Amino acid sequence: MPSARQLRTYYGWFTAGFLLFVLLLGVGERLGLPRVLIGYTFLFATIGLYAGIGIMSRTTDVAEYYVAGRRVPAFFNGMATGADWMSAASFIGLAGSLYLLGFDGLAFVLGWTGGFCLVALLIAPYLRKFGQFTIPDFIGARYGGDLARAIAMGAVLMCSFIYVVAQIYGVGLITTHLTNVDFSYGVFLGLAGILVCSFLGGMRAVTWTQVAQCIILLVAYLIPVAWLGLQYTGSPLPQLAYGSVLERLAVREGELARDPQELAVRGVYQARAGDALQRIARLPQSWQDGQGAARQQIDELKARHAPLSELRVAERRLAHYPATPEDARRDWQQEANEYAARGAPLMPHAEPFWSGAADPQRAAQERDTKRWNFLALVFCLMAGTAGLPHVLMRSYTTPTVHQARKSVFWALGFILLLYLSAPALAVLVKYDVYTQVVGKHFSDLPAWVAAWSRIDPAFLRMDDINHDGVVQLAELQMGPDIVVLAMPEIAGLPYVITGLVAAGGLAAALSTADGLLLTIANALSHDLYFKMINRTASPARRVTMAKVLLLLVALVAAFVTLMRPGSIVSLVGLAFSLAAGSLFPALVLGVFWKRANQWGAIAGMLTGFAVCAYYIATRYPFFQAKLGLAPAAWAPWFGIDPISAGVFAVPMGLAAIVIVSLATAAPDAASGQFVDFVRMPDAHNGEKGESARNR
Amino acid sequence: MGTPRQRYWRQTRRLTAVLLLVWFVVTFVAAYHARTLTFSFLGWPFSFYMAAQGSLLVYLFIVFFYARQQHRRDAVFGVDDPRDD
């Protein structure tokens, strides 16, 4: 393997080459290169590059396949961890969520960065000293017995699989966006890119691909942000200067909040929400009346020989009319909520835990709930970060304990490049929309508005509710993904940058999917097959097994993705809470509390997992509907949203470990020696984790 | 005061606890009081600045400081890894 200096030279040239490639495509665009061709070039050039690195790094050696030979220097391991970490949700979703949620969205920013403090202080150095292959390895060696290992493996599989489905979904979405192919083709095209890399070279190939992906995704994010920053703050580093834009945004928000036309549109929505609530109050009579009215309208239209199109609309309305009064209650409640949200007063971007309620007592209550949900979400995302196996795995790939500590520093550094930019981007785009779109005539809107509302109304939708020909803020509905995807066009950049942003999003989703698939396949091949089923398997057989399982898992994940389960955000939240609840307590107490024993760990992991699963299943509206639970009878505990189930699961998991450990016999001497072994960073008492229990 | 290895671990634990306290304050204490900490800071409302930038930079410092201090401590107690130099 090349030295750190050689690596720096290689990747330096790679970055320069990539920038040149973008520049050349830009020149090509000027000379008339069609847009579709630019999209395809980006897609195939980047996937081809990843495949090339994968083929160059192919290996059949166990240590190379599982942990890249433990020779990745801290700086590059940090980059690879960064790419592993920054997923489609970070790259595409984050800035959009910040746009829509304002201050409250910063819970994601805090949670997804602060978690690395826990990784660095509580887990990474100790895992590196242990120096085996997987997370269940650590649990199995520390607590002893196959049962603890098997449960840890189950938890690793569950949270990684849920997370990987979200990533493959993102891959499909971006591939479709770049090339206009069908979503299912997009999924399999992306999957090919993932597989060709991890299949041949395992962790070694994934590591060097992820370093390249980290460079691509950061370049793709930072270039348009710098450009937009130059326009609004006069500086290419808007991260340092967007405070002034935030101030101007607040002034504009004040104007819009008092604007009479704006208030009129919101009034219309409030009236519609009130109408829906009245219909609910008069159930079941209102349901019968509505059905009768819809039928009567059709008869009238037929009687006066109305145009066919009008008749079709009326028939469709009847076809979609709620089938029972119960359905009507659900549908109308949803309708009322949507209209009430659109009719609510304007939310100031920088105000924490904002409430639009007019009644001061209710507003105070809402603010309090929002505050606790904010804190709970931050906690869950942090503990989940320190429990998600694909990130922790990366501690194994550095040469020494000190390099593992430094690697977390570099990882967080690269992650911050994106995470410090996203809040700035959200503010800049919001200011742009509030001044360049809102208040303008429908006839002279910027070109990107029309282009994106044509693609999909889920991205952007406008209705002239009060028929004044001018866009009011309340008439505008934006989906979160458009903020990043349309950013180059909002900044007035050429199409080649739009392709670059999509390629960056693809790099983010692919790199995370790579790491996750590898984690899943390794848990199955190493922990299940090698450690529990066939302890005499040869190294070559183990690697072959890992490759076959990787292929199978990838296909199953793609299949599940095609069924489009749930939304990406809720899937990701679920994975974080499960990782936080089941793995985090057992890992931390395994190092910091010698008295923790096998039964405690088993009880802790099961409790954490069960609490999360129970809370999500009974409180998440999607599952409530599936299980036929009445939302009123299953109110959330302390008003905490199901996405933050980990806030209950982590303390309960910790308590279960402590109580059960103390109630059962102290762990054996081997486990004490194991703890002493991982706490010391020096190499002389056993290399490559030849600890007391493994000898 | 115990063996050098016990002292090494005690000091490591103390540093971990202190840094976790800093982490807790800039995260949870700052966010809990977000509605009152609204004075202007470098042009941002303070609580917004902390959640969007300030706390993140403190996190980076925590990780940096821990790696540096532990590396020094490893050398003092002679438990460092010769491959690091």
Residue B30's pLDDT band, with cuts at 50, 70 and 90, is very high
B chain contacts of residue A676, beta-carbon cutoff 8 Å: 5
Tell me the average pLDDT across A565-593: 85
- Which of B3, B6, B22, B48 is the mutation pick for testing A, counting most A CBs within 10 A? B48
Higher pLDDT, A217 or B42: A217
Question: B13 to chain A: nearest residue by CA?
Answer: A592
Residue A608's pLDDT band, with cuts at 50, 70 and 90, is very high
Higher pLDDT, A377 or A58: A377
CB pairs under 8 A between A and B: 139
Question: B80 to chain A: nearest residue by CA?
Answer: A682
| H or E, element range at A460 | strand A460-462
A chain contacts of residue B79, beta-carbon cutoff 8 Å: 680-682
- Max CA distance (Å), chain A: 95
Residue A382's pLDDT band, with cuts at 50, 70 and 90, is very high
Our CA-based measurement puts residue A490 at a distance from the nearest CA of chain B, in whole angstroms, of: 23
Q: What is the pLDDT of residue A142?
A: 92
Tell me the average pLDDT across A559-573: 73
Higher pLDDT, A475 or A178: A475
A chain contacts of residue B69, beta-carbon cutoff 8 Å: none
B85 assigned to some structural domain:
no
Tell me the average pLDDT across A226-247: 88
B chain contacts of residue A375, beta-carbon cutoff 8 Å: 28, 31-32
| Contact between A412 and B63 using a beta-carbon 8 Å cutoff | yes
| Contact between A117 and B20 using a beta-carbon 8 Å cutoff | yes
Cross-chain CB nearest to B56 (options A244, A419, A676): A419
A627 by Cβ neighbours in 10 Å (0-12 / 13-18 / 19+) ranks as: exposed
Between residues 185 and 244 of chain A, which touch chain B (CB distance below 8 Å)? 239, 243-244
β-bridge pairing A476-478 and B44-45: unpaired
Is pLDDT above 60 for A691?
no
Q: Is A120 on the interface with B (CB under 8 A)?
A: yes
Residue A688's pLDDT band, with cuts at 50, 70 and 90, is very low
Q: Is A421 on the interface with B (CB under 8 A)?
A: no
In order of A194, A403, A675, B5, B78, the CA distances from A681 in angstroms are: 35, 11, 12, 11, 10
B34 assigned to some structural domain:
yes
Pair of tokens at residue A243: 């405070």
| Contact between A120 and B35 using a beta-carbon 8 Å cutoff | no
Q: What is the pLDDT of residue A565?
A: 62
Residue A66's pLDDT band, with cuts at 50, 70 and 90, is confident
Percent above pLDDT 90 for chain A: 33
A187 by Cβ neighbours in 10 Å (0-12 / 13-18 / 19+) ranks as: buried
Residue A693's pLDDT band, with cuts at 50, 70 and 90, is very low
A487-509 tens-digit pLDDT: 888 888 888 998 899 889 888 98
- Spatial CA neighbour of A508 closest among A86, A14, A38: A86
Cross-chain CB nearest to B80 (options A103, A118, A682): A682
A chain contacts of residue B66, beta-carbon cutoff 8 Å: 120-121, 405
Pair of tokens at residue A473: 């803020």
Q: What is the pLDDT of residue A20?
A: 93
Q: What is the pLDDT of residue B1?
A: 64
The chain B residues in contact with chain A (CB within 8 A) are 5, 8-9, 12-13, 16, 19-20, 23, 27-28, 31-32, 34-35, 42-45, 47-49, 51-53, 55-57, 59-60, 62-64, 66-67, 70-71, 74, 78-84
Q: What is the pLDDT of residue A302?
A: 85
Pair of tokens at residue A535: 């302890």
- Per the listing, tokens 């999509």 go with A502
- Per the listing, tokens 């060709």 go with A196
B84 assigned to some structural domain:
no
| H or E, element range at A418 | helix A401-419
Between residues 318 and 377 of chain A, which touch chain B (CB distance below 8 Å)? 350, 352-353, 367, 371, 374-375
Would you say A571 and A166 are in contact if contact means Cβ atoms under 8 Å apart?
yes
Q: Is A398 on the interface with B (CB under 8 A)?
A: no
Cross-chain CB nearest to B66 (options A120, A239, A403): A120
B chain contacts of residue A246, beta-carbon cutoff 8 Å: 43-45, 48
Tell me the average pLDDT across A180-190: 79
| H or E, element range at A462 | strand A460-462
Q: What is the pLDDT of residue A371?
A: 94
Counted domains in chain B: 1
Tell me the average pLDDT across A285-303: 86
Range of the domain at B64: 4-79
Q: What is the pLDDT of residue A327?
A: 82
Measured from the Cβ of residue A341, the count of other Cβ atoms closer than 10 Å reads: 11
SS (HEC) of A298-314: HHHHHHCCCCHHHHHHH
Question: A684 to chain B: nearest residue by CA?
Answer: B81
CA atoms within 13 A on the CB side of A675: 20
Our CA-based measurement puts residue B65 at a distance from the nearest CA of chain A, in whole angstroms, of: 9
- Which of A90, A94, A106, A406 is the mutation pick for testing B, counting most B CBs within 10 A? A106
Residue A1's pLDDT band, with cuts at 50, 70 and 90, is low
A67-105 tens-digit pLDDT: 888 889 999 999 999 999 998 888 888 898 899 999 999
Cross-chain CB nearest to B84 (options A110, A352, A400): A400
- Which of A99, A428, A682 is the mutation pick for testing B, counting most B CBs within 10 A? A682
Q: What is the pLDDT of residue A686?
A: 43
| Contact between B62 and A117 using a beta-carbon 8 Å cutoff | yes
B45 assigned to some structural domain:
yes
Is pLDDT above 60 for A548?
yes
| Contact between A121 and B66 using a beta-carbon 8 Å cutoff | yes
Pair of tokens at residue A494: 């050429």
A436-458 tens-digit pLDDT: 888 888 888 888 888 787 777 77
Q: Is A103 on the interface with B (CB under 8 A)?
A: yes
Would you say A229 and A242 are in contact if contact means Cβ atoms under 8 Å apart?
yes
> Which pTM does this prediction carry?
0.90
CA atoms within 13 A on the CB side of B54: 16
B47 assigned to some structural domain:
yes
In order of A75, A109, A180, A491, the CA distances from A217 in angstroms are: 17, 18, 21, 18
Is pLDDT above 90 for A477?
no
Q: Where are the domains of chain A?
A: 256-371
- Spatial CA neighbour of A573 closest among A419, A379, A378, A381: A381
Residues shown for chain A: 695
Cross-chain CB nearest to B44 (options A125, A246, A353): A246
Question: B4 to chain A: nearest residue by CA?
Answer: A680
Query: For chain A, how big is the Rg over CA atoms in Å?
Result: 27
Question: B15 to chain A: nearest residue by CA?
Answer: A121
| Contact between A110 and B27 using a beta-carbon 8 Å cutoff | yes
A chain contacts of residue B45, beta-carbon cutoff 8 Å: 246, 350
Would you say A84 and A210 are in contact if contact means Cβ atoms under 8 Å apart?
yes
Q: What's the whole-number average pLDDT of chain A?
A: 87
Q: What is the DSSP string of A650-688?
A: HHHHHHHHHHHHHHSPPPPHHHHHHHHHHH---STT-ST
Q: What is the pLDDT of residue A5?
A: 85
Q: Is A401 on the interface with B (CB under 8 A)?
A: yes
Pair of tokens at residue A442: 């429908």
Would you say A382 and A114 are in contact if contact means Cβ atoms under 8 Å apart?
yes
Tell me the average pLDDT across A518-541: 86
Residue A566's pLDDT band, with cuts at 50, 70 and 90, is low
